[in-house]
Chain A
Amino acid sequence: MSVDLLNFIETVLNGLMSGVMYSLVALGFVLIFKASGVFNFAQGVFALFAALTLVGYQTGQVPFAHLINELFGTNYHHWYASMPNFLAIILTMITMIALAWIIERLVLKHLVNQDPIILFMATIGLAFVLEGVGDLMWGSNVKVLDVGIPSGGSEWLEQATIGLAAEGSDYYGMYIDVLNVWATVIAVILVISLAIFSQYTKTGRALRAVADDHQAALSVGISLRSIWVLVWAISGFIAMVAGIMWGAESGVQFSLSLIALKALPVLILGGFTSIPGAIIGGLLIGVGEKLAEIYIGGYFETGALENWFAYVMALVFLLFRPQGLFGDKIIERV
C-alpha cells in the first residue's frame, strides 16, 4: 500500500474516534430534546460539571472551599486524600441525578407550555449558573482527571502497520490514541445499553411514549414529570461519561463546556430527534473535520479549520435537507 493511502486510513480512523466523542455529547442533547422538547444548551456544562465533581470527589476537595475560606478566613482544602474511582463515579452519578431533579423542580416545572425558544434561553441561563457554581464549588484551576483509562499512542498498531507500506518508504506506522479506542468501546456499550433499556424495560417504553406524544402518554397514566427527571438524569449520566473522556484527554477546565458548541453541528447534521442521527452525524463530522484539516487546511497556511469547518459542513448540508439526516420531516400547518 502507498503511504498516502495509509495516511488517509489513519486520518479516517482518528476522525471516526473523535467523532465518537462528539456523538457522546450530541446523544445527551437528542435524548432531552426528544422527551421534553427542550434544546438543552447546558449539555456541555453538564459534562464539565460532572467532570469537576468527579475530580472533586476523587481528591476529596471540600466543596466551596475558596468561598468559605475567603468569607471566614479559614483554611479548608481537603476532607481526605483520595477515593476509589468506582465510588467516586457512583457518587457523581447520584449528584447528577439530584441535579436533574433540582432542575425539573426549579426551572422546567415553571416553564411548561412556554415557547421552545424561551426554554432554550433558560438552558443558556442554566449553563451559566452551573458553570459559576461548578467553579465556586471546585475551583477554576485546570485539574487532572485520571480514572485509570490508559492513554498515549498504541505501539501495537504502530508495529502492525509499519510493514504495510512499500519497501524503502519513510513510514512510521499509524498513530492512534488508546484513550480514543476506549472511548469508542464505552460509547458503543452505552448506546447498546440505552437501546436495550428503551426497548425492553417498562420505564424505557414509557420514555419512548413521552417522546412520541406528550398528551397521549399522559392519558395512559405516564407521569410526565418523573419521566423528565429520568431523561435529564440519563443525559446527566451521558454528560458524565463524555466529561470523563474529554477530561481525561485534555484536563478538566472551562473549555470542556465548549464541547457543547462542537456537538451542535453534529446535531443539525443528524437531526435533533434521532439517536442514530446523532451517532452517524458525529462520525461524519469527526471524519470530515480531520480530512479537511489535512487536505484543505494546507491551502490556508494558517490552519485551525476545526473551529468552524463542522458548522459550514452542517450548514451546507442543511440547505439541502433542513431536517437533518434522520430528523422527523418538518410539517408546518397554519
Chain B
Amino acid sequence: MIYKETGQYKSSYKSDHAIFPLIQDKIAFSTLMLIAFLVIPFVIDSYWEKAILVPFLIFSLAAIGLNILTGYCGQVSLGTGGFMAVGAFSTYKIMTSFPDLNIMIIVLISGLITAAVGILFGLPSLRIKGFYLAVATLASQFFLVWLFNKVPWFYNYSDTGQITVSERVMFGVPVTGATAPPYATYLFCLVLVVALGFAAKNLIRSKTGRSWMAIRDMDIAAEIIGVPPLKTKLTAFAISSFYIGVAGALYFAVFLGAIEVTESFDIMTISFPVLFMIIIGGLGSMLGSFLGAAFIVTLPIGLKFIMVDMVGLSAVTAKHFEISIWGLLMIVFLIVEPHGLARLWSIAKEKLRRWPFPY
C-alpha cells in the first residue's frame, strides 16, 4: 500500500519521460537531496568526511564510470586504477602549470584528458571481446601506473615521486589542501556527483545509452540493425573514462591530498574494489553504483569495528578476514543474486506495493 502507482496518470510526454515517474520516488529523492545539501554540511565532522562520505561520493563516480562500460556496454575492464591515475596526474600537472585556474575546471579538464586516454585504450575492444578484452585492459593498468611511476615529468621531478595537492579556493573557501573544512570538500564532491549522476542517467536513457545496451546484449545483431560498433564502443570507453578520471582527480585532490602512484592506484586497491562495487551493487544500474559504493566503503569500517574493537583481533588478522569476507560476499552475491543490491531494492519495492496484503 505504501508504494502504489494506482491513480498516478501520465498526461504528457514530459511526465512519461520523467526520471522518477512515481510521486513516492520523487518525494524520497527530494528528501535525500535536501538532507544531503542542507543537513549533512552542517553536522559533518572530519571523521565522517574522511572515512565515509567523501570516499563514498568519489567511488560512486568511479562505479558509475565502470558501470557505463561494463554494465551498460558489456566491455569488462580491469583498468580502473590506471584511468583514475590519469585523472589524478592530469589534475596535478594542470594545477602546477596554471596556478590561477579554478579547481572545478581543473577537475573537469582532467576528466576530458582521461577520456582521450580511454579512447586510446578502448581501441582493442573493436577487435577483441570478453576475456581477451578484460586481460587487454590490464595492459592499460600496468602501463599507466608504470608511466606515472617512472617518467619524472609527471611528478615534476620531485625526489619522492609523490604528488601533493596545493590549496585551491572556491567561493572563498578552500576545497583542497590540508586546511579545507569538511563541509567544503563534501559539498564540492556532492555537487559533482549529483550533476554527473544526472548526466549519466539521462545519457543512458538516450539513443547513446540504448546503443550501448544493444552492443552489450548481442554485438553482431546490434551491428546488423545499424548500431555502429566503432562509435558506440569508443563513446562508452570515453564517457566511462571521463567519470573515472574525475573520480581519480577528486581522489587525489580532495580526498588524499598526496599520493604515490603504485600504492594508491594499485589493481588491488582500486580496480578490483570498483569492480566489486558494480557487481554487488548491480551491473547496469545507476542505483546499483551508489549502493555498491556505499557497501564497499562501509564494509571495511564495519568489519574492523566488529573484529578489532569487539572481538579483539589484531589489525593484521582482521585485514585477512576482511579479504576473505570480500571474496565470500562476491561469490555469495553472484550465486544468490547476480543482479546485485539494485535487484534486491526492486524486489523490496514490489513487496512494498502490496504490503500488508500477501497478494
Interface residues of A (CB under 8 A from B): 39, 66-67, 70-71, 107, 110-111, 114, 116-118, 120-122, 124-133, 135-136, 140, 261, 264-265, 267-268, 272, 300, 302-305, 307-308, 311-312, 314-315, 318-319, 322, 324, 332, 334
Query: In whole Å, how far is B37's beta carbon from the nearest beta carbon of chain A?
Result: 35
Query: In whole Å, how far is B218's beta carbon from the nearest beta carbon of chain A?
Result: 7
Q: Is the CB of B143 within 8 A of A311?
A: yes
Q: Is the CB of B338 within 8 A of A114?
A: yes
- CB neighbours (8 Å) of B136 from chain A are 268, 311, 314-315, 318
Interface residues of B (CB under 8 A from A): 76, 124, 127-132, 134-136, 138-139, 142-143, 145-146, 150-151, 218, 220-221, 224, 267, 272, 275, 279, 311-314, 316-317, 320-331, 334-335, 338
Kindly list the 3 A-B residue pairs having the minimum CB-CB distance in the complex, ordered from nearest. Answer: A132-B324, A128-B327, A125-B330
Which one of B220, B322, B329, B334 lies within 8 Å of A111 (CB-CB)? B334
Query: In whole Å, how far is A113's beta carbon from the nearest beta carbon of chain B?
Result: 11
Residues A312 and B143 in contact in the complex (CB < 8 Å), given A71-B313, A319-B124: yes
Q: Is the CB of B323 within 8 A of A135?
A: yes
- CB neighbours (8 Å) of B267 from chain A are 261
Q: Is the CB of B130 within 8 A of A116?
A: yes
Q: Is the CB of B142 within 8 A of A311?
A: yes
Q: When chains A and B are docked, how far (Å) is the Cα of A121 from the Cα of B70? A: 12
Query: In whole Å, how far is A326's beta carbon from the nearest beta carbon of chain B?
Result: 14
Q: Is the CB of B331 within 8 A of A308?
A: no
Q: Is the CB of A132 within 8 A of B272?
A: no
Q: Is the CB of A70 within 8 A of B312?
A: yes
Q: Is the CB of A264 within 8 A of B138?
A: yes
Q: Is the CB of B127 within 8 A of A67?
A: no
- CB neighbours (8 Å) of A71 from chain B are 311-313
Given contacts A128-B272, A272-B131, A334-B221, 10 further A-B contacts (CB under 8 A): A66-B316, A66-B317, A125-B327, A126-B331, A127-B327, A136-B320, A318-B124, A318-B128, A322-B128, A324-B132
- CB neighbours (8 Å) of B323 from chain A are 128-129, 131-132, 135
Q: Is the CB of B334 within 8 A of A300?
A: no
Which one of A116, A128, A135, A136 lies within 8 Å of B326 (CB-CB)? A128
Residues A121 and B124 in contact in the complex (CB < 8 Å), given A67-B317, A264-B138, A268-B135: no
Q: Is the CB of B330 within 8 A of A122?
A: yes
- CB neighbours (8 Å) of A315 from chain B are 124, 136, 139
Residues A132 and B128 in contact in the complex (CB < 8 Å), given A70-B312, A125-B328, A311-B143: no
Q: Is the CB of B130 within 8 A of A117?
A: yes
Q: Is the CB of B331 within 8 A of A129?
A: yes
Q: When chains A and B are docked, how far (Å) is the Cα of A122 from the Cα of B323? A: 14
Q: When chains A and B are docked, how far (Å) is the Cα of A84 from the Cα of B127? A: 52
Q: Is the CB of A121 within 8 A of B146?
A: no
Q: When chains A and B are docked, how far (Å) is the Cα of A126 from the Cα of B146? A: 28
Q: When chains A and B are docked, how far (Å) is the Cα of A120 from the Cα of B220? A: 23
Q: When chains A and B are docked, how far (Å) is the Cα of A110 from the Cα of B332? A: 10
- CB neighbours (8 Å) of B132 from chain A are 268, 272, 318, 322, 324
Query: In whole Å, how far is A311's beta carbon from the nearest beta carbon of chain B?
Result: 3
- CB neighbours (8 Å) of B76 from chain A are 117, 120
- CB neighbours (8 Å) of B334 from chain A are 111, 114, 118, 121-122, 125
Q: When chains A and B are docked, how far (Å) is the Cα of A126 from the Cα of B324? A: 9
- CB neighbours (8 Å) of A120 from chain B are 76, 131, 134
Query: In whole Å, how far is A192's beta carbon from the nearest beta carbon of chain B?
Result: 28
Residue picked from A125, A265, A318, most chain B C-beta under 10 Å: A125
- CB neighbours (8 Å) of B312 from chain A are 70-71
- CB neighbours (8 Å) of B335 from chain A are 107, 110-111, 122
Residues A334 and B317 in contact in the complex (CB < 8 Å), given A117-B76, A132-B324, A308-B143: no
Query: In whole Å, how far is A26's beta carbon from the nearest beta carbon of chain B?
Result: 12
Which one of A265, A302, A307 lies within 8 Å of B151 (CB-CB)? A302
Residues A140 and B320 in contact in the complex (CB < 8 Å), given A70-B313, A121-B275, A128-B326: yes
Which one of B124, B135, B218 lies within 8 Å of A264 (CB-CB)? B135
Q: When chains A and B are docked, how far (Å) is the Cα of A332 from the Cα of B151? A: 42
- CB neighbours (8 Å) of A268 from chain B are 132, 135-136
Q: Is the CB of A334 within 8 A of B220?
A: yes
